Amino acid sequence: MNDLKNALFSEYNMNGLMLKNRIVMAPMTRNFSPNGVPMDYAPTYYARRANGGVGLIVTEGVEVSHRAASGYPNCPNLETDEAKKMWEKIVNEVHKSKSSIFCQLWHVGGIRKPGMPPNPEVPGFTPSGYVVPGKKVAHEMSVDEINELIEVYAEDAKICEEIGFDGVEIHGAHGYLIDQFFWDKINLRTDEYGGSIENRSRFAKEILMASQKKTSDSFQIGIRVSQWKQQDYEAKITSDSKELDQFFNILKNAGADFIHCSNRRFWEGEFEPDGENLAGFAKKATGLPTISVGSVGLDKDFIKLYSGDHKTQTVNLDILHKKLNQAEFDLIAVGRALLSDPEWANKVRDGKEDQIVPFDKSFVENYV
């Protein structure tokens, strides 16, 4: 292994949780969990990535135990004994490879469409009834409903610890429920959950605090955030560096153990083309462990997947190695490259990048 790769394959101490390297499997929705239960192949699917050299796995989005959490078919949850037993199998298989695993807790918010099973009468929950600016189409949450959901997240975090997960990642990115609170263009509330960046962050803050209270000190609880939204790729929580600093420190002071920052392209700076990316900015602002993500090892960002331009080529990782060696961020999450090649991490370690299987959409459509 050459010196350039040393950082990527070095151990990392995440608040007492020792990770065997800096590679994270990014959360990726698979739609292979009928009735909320991961299919029998799921333990093998996750174990292959752990065996392939991934240090930390973040699961696909797991719907929190709330009537309006679901927005897509066949996504997993924690609501039945059958689902919990399957997640326990997954955790055990991953741990056999000396890898760690976090459960990503997810609520789609206003992305939920009317008439969706299993409860077609339940609307999409939002801070103000908006999914995009300008048209009120969903349910505006009451304070009681906000408090109910905070408790749901905390209880599910507790369940995850009981199952054996090493931590949870609260999904606060990509225009889903928590991110809808962050986004001032659709969070038009005039109470303590709307207005200033402090108020718009309150829902996430209280989820983190409640989840920490329900779990042990060694259990990791972090949050995933993004500036962009699936409703608007140019949208931002804030374009002001001081306000962004304040935002990240609100999450830190709420008890976040790590921050996972989602970029469409990890090499792009947040405020300057060659500057620190969002994860780098978060690390500098808070000192917390940070995870970066976005088109790692691929020549196209994931948006192309949905426009028919889905075939990719493997690219070199020089920029990634440089950023890790400079300690801009601590960990790097890999998504699509790990769908097509479970051995991606080991091949990179062993200098076999030319043998990596390139990604195309067939790897989304099948369990590999």
Count of domains observed in the chain = 1
Residue 307, pLDDT score: 45
| Active-site amino acid positions | 176
Overall pTM > 0.75: yes
Expressed as residue numbers, the domain containing 194 is: 3-365
Q: Which of 309, 310, 312 is nearest to 298 (CA)?
A: 312
Question: pLDDT tens, 261-280?
Answer: 999 889 999 999 889 999 99
Instruction: Assess contact for 234 and 225: CB atoms under 8 A.
Output: no
**How far apart, in whole angstroms, are the C-alpha atoms of residue 285 and residue 273?**
19
Q: CA neighbours within 13 Å on the CB side: how many for 312?
A: 30
Question: pLDDT tens, 147-174?
Answer: 999 999 999 999 999 999 999 999 999 9
Q: How far apart are the first and last CA of the chain?
A: 28
Residue 256, pLDDT score: 98
What is the mean pLDDT, run by run of 10 residues, along the chain of 368 residues?
A: 78 98 97 97 98 98 97 97 98 98 98 88 97 95 98 98 98 98 98 98 98 98 97 95 98 98 93 93 98 81 47 76 96 95 96 90 83
Residue 314, pLDDT score: 66
Residue 309, pLDDT score: 42
Instruction: Assess contact for 21 and 330: CB atoms under 8 A.
Output: no
- The secondary element (H helix, E strand) that includes residue 13 is strand 12-14
DSSP track, 142-160: PHHHHHHHHHHHHHHHHHH
**How far apart, in whole angstroms, are the C-alpha atoms of residue 226 and residue 248?**
12
Instruction: Assess contact for 132 and 186: CB atoms under 8 A.
Output: yes
Cβ neighbour number for residue 150 with a 10 Å cutoff? 19
Residue 313, pLDDT score: 65
Residue 3, pLDDT score: 62
Residue 162, pLDDT score: 98
**How far apart, in whole angstroms, are the C-alpha atoms of residue 176 and residue 348?**
33
Where residue 348 sits, what CATH number does that domain have? 3.20.20.70
DSSP track, 263-291: -SSTTS-SSSTTS--HHHHHHHHH---EE
Residue 276, pLDDT score: 95
Q: Which of 220, 107, 98 is nearest to 165 (CA)?
A: 220
Q: What is the DSSP letter of 261?
A: E
